Amino acid sequence: MSRKFFVGGNWKMNGDKKSLGDLIQTMNAGKVDANVEVVCGAPSIYLDFARSKLDQKFGVAAQNCYKVPKGAFTGEISPAMIKDCGVNWVILGHSERRHVFGESDELIGQKTAHALESGLGVIACIGEKLDEREGGITEKVVFAQTKVIADNVKDWSKVVLAYEPVWAIGTGKTASPQQAQEVHEKLREWLKVNVSEAVANSVRIIYGGSVTGGTCKELASQKDVDGFLVGGASLKPEFIDIINAKA
Ligand code: 13P
């Protein structure tokens, strides 16, 4: 039951060719643990740029995509276009897509199915809001979100599940290692009951929400934390330390 540690950087809508080029140079020159799968989520307009500059040992992800290959959908990009840029991953269901842009579970499920059918790997994000945690319904929320994703997945080898509590994103309030482990363990149990034991044992469940060079090691030591999805700190040289959290 060895799950390769997975660290995603989500650059969100940040950077320009100059600053991202500098970041990429730092990453290419950095000493990174070869046992870690690293994927950088670039803004769609910089996917080509990121893929052409980043060392091949790093993967690249789009931060969103639409649910069909092509057509009259102004402003959207398709998995086919992402793949055409040499990019193999997409982040779907991020809390900012859900809560700023109003994406529904249903749409996220449809996008997941289409991205996987198109051959992309999917970093599927789930996570409860603060009032939901305080209301004691964290499990209910993340299980419901996971079910819609699971209903749309045939091949789990291409899926990474990212638990990102909304209250921890961009707030500096990292979940404690115990809080992260507790939810990850329950998610694995849910997968065991509702998908299969093999999938529960093999799927990477990564944590996101204010991960830093300072908080990553203890989080990474938790049994069911298989990596991170990093926002702010993925734009800094500190990202290298997070990649090497297990080293
Ligand atoms: P921060 O690391 O900036 O909290 O962002 C987390 C995130 O949303 C990654 O997808």
- What is the percentage of the chain residues whose pLDDT exceeds 90? 99
Contact 201, 207 (CB under 8 A): no
Burial readout 198-217 (b: 16 or more C-beta within 10 A, e: otherwise): ebbeebbbbbbbbbbbebbe
Nearest CA to ligand 1 atom 7: 231
The predicted pLDDT at position 1 comes to: 57
The verdict on the CB of residue 211 being under 6 Å from ligand 1 is yes
Closest CA to 47 of 7, 20, 28, 75: 20
The verdict on the CB of residue 210 being under 6 Å from ligand 1 is yes
Tell me, in angstroms, the distance from the centre of ligand 1 to residue 230's CA.
5
Encode pLDDT of 188-205 as tens digits.
999 999 999 999 999 999
Taking 60 as the threshold, does the pLDDT of residue 164 lie above it? yes
- Binned at pLDDT 50, 70 and 90, residue 2 comes out as confident
Closest CA to 83 of 123, 121, 45: 121
| Cα–Cα distance list, 28 to 45, 52, 126 (Å) | 21, 12, 30
The verdict on the CB of residue 126 being under 6 Å from ligand 1 is no
Structure tokens at 239: 């990202």
> Across-strand partners of 41?
10, 61
Taking 60 as the threshold, does the pLDDT of residue 146 lie above it? yes
Pick the CATH number of 5-243 from 2.160.10.10, 3.40.50.2300, 3.20.20.70, 3.40.47.10: 3.20.20.70
Pocket test for ligand 1, best of 125, 126, 229, 235 (most atoms within 8 A of CB): 229
Structure tokens at 93: 């269901």
* Domain ranges for the chain: 5-243
Count of CA atoms in the C-beta half-sphere (13 A) of 90? 27
